[in-house]
Structure 1
Amino acid sequence: MADFPKIMHTAIDTTDCRGLAEFYRQFLGAHYRPGDEPPTDGTPDDADWLVLVDDDGRRLLAFQQVDRLERTTWPEHDVPMQMHLDLSVPSSEELERHRGRAEALGATLVLDRSDDEDEPLYVLADPSGHPFCICVI
């Protein structure tokens, strides 16, 4: 018997399930859970729940299709952030490289603290508007 529950994955709402899963799959170098891959036989991709896993098959993120999603207005608080992911990189050079990769995949820059001496970081929004941070740790 387990003493405590374990986090299985973080589920993220989106109006474009496959599109957001693809963004994070490419950005994180993740893989689809077996059976969640895009169809290759010409059938419509009507996925409403997708899971990404790491190289060892451990769940990372899940994506849930919703009809409507109001984008956060952070850093204003009219529509709160509600959740965000924090990702770490080992150097300022890697911070710049991964910011460029994220933007090339469709992310937008929300906050630039890359010149912070204690913890350089960028806050970006994924294609569905969910904020995520890339920090030098």
Structure 2
Amino acid sequence: MTRFPRLANVVVDTPDVRRTAEFYRRLLDLVYRDGDEPPTDGPDTADWLVLYTREGHRLLAFQQADDLRASTWPSPDVPMQMHLCFYVDDPDRLDAEAQRAQGLGSTHRVHRTDDPDEPLHVLTDPTGHPFCLYTHPSVPPGSPL
């Protein structure tokens, strides 16, 4: 037991809970909390879903937000407010992971792949939440960041 609060997961507001959860499930190879899997019969009325790592650690949750305005970043009209960052261990896979994310439904916003210390791509998920895919070419794969 720890004496301080621990982060349980990040909660993402979205007007389409299943679509957004499914995007991140596929992007990050996550699994649904027991009972949160897509229904096999009948409509999907989920307004709260939780995703775990395959090792059983809670990571992301999604809640219904009907009036969400998607970020317009880098334009300041609707700021990011928050964004997620995902690390790609193998620098040679960075561009391929950005392309894979786009194939899953994300939109590419900005790239800074010419930065020798921390190349990155900024994309938005299907709901418009920004997220980064980045790497450190000088850090050996699997090392702590």
Q: Which deviates more from structure 2 when the two are superposed, residues 4-13 or residues 84-93?
A: 84-93
The one-letter code sitting in structure 2 at the alignment partner of 1:115 is D
CA distance in 1 between counterparts of 2:58 and 2:90 reads 26
SS of equivalent to 1:18 = helix
2:126 corresponds to: 127
What do the CA deviations read for 1:49-102 (whole angstroms, capped 9, x no partner)?
000001121111000011111011111222110110111112332101111110
CA distance in 2 between counterparts of 1:80 and 1:10 reads 18
2:9 corresponds to: 9
Unaligned runs of at least 5 residues, structure 1:
none
- Is this contact kept in 2: 1:72–1:81, CA < 8 A? yes
**2:34 equivalent to 1:34:** yes
Unaligned runs of at least 5 residues, structure 2:
137-145
Supply the RMSD in Å over aligned alpha carbons.
1.0
Runs (4 or more) in structure 1 with deviation over 3 Å come to: none
Question: Please, what TM-score do these two structures have when normalized by structure 1?
Answer: 0.95
Q: Report the alpha carbon displacement of residue 120 of structure 1 after superposing the two structures with TM.
A: 0.6
Q: Report the alpha carbon displacement of residue 6 of structure 1 after superposing the two structures with TM.
A: 0.5
The one-letter code sitting in structure 2 at the alignment partner of 1:102 is A
- Is this contact kept in 2: 1:33–1:57, CA < 8 A? no
1:18 corresponds to: 18
- When the two structures are aligned, how many residues end up with a matched partner? 136
**2:110 equivalent to 1:111:** yes
Question: Please, what TM-score do these two structures have when normalized by structure 2?
Answer: 0.90
2:59 corresponds to: 60
CA distance in 1 between counterparts of 2:36 and 2:90 reads 34
1:69 corresponds to: 68
CA distance in 1 between counterparts of 2:51 and 2:36 reads 8
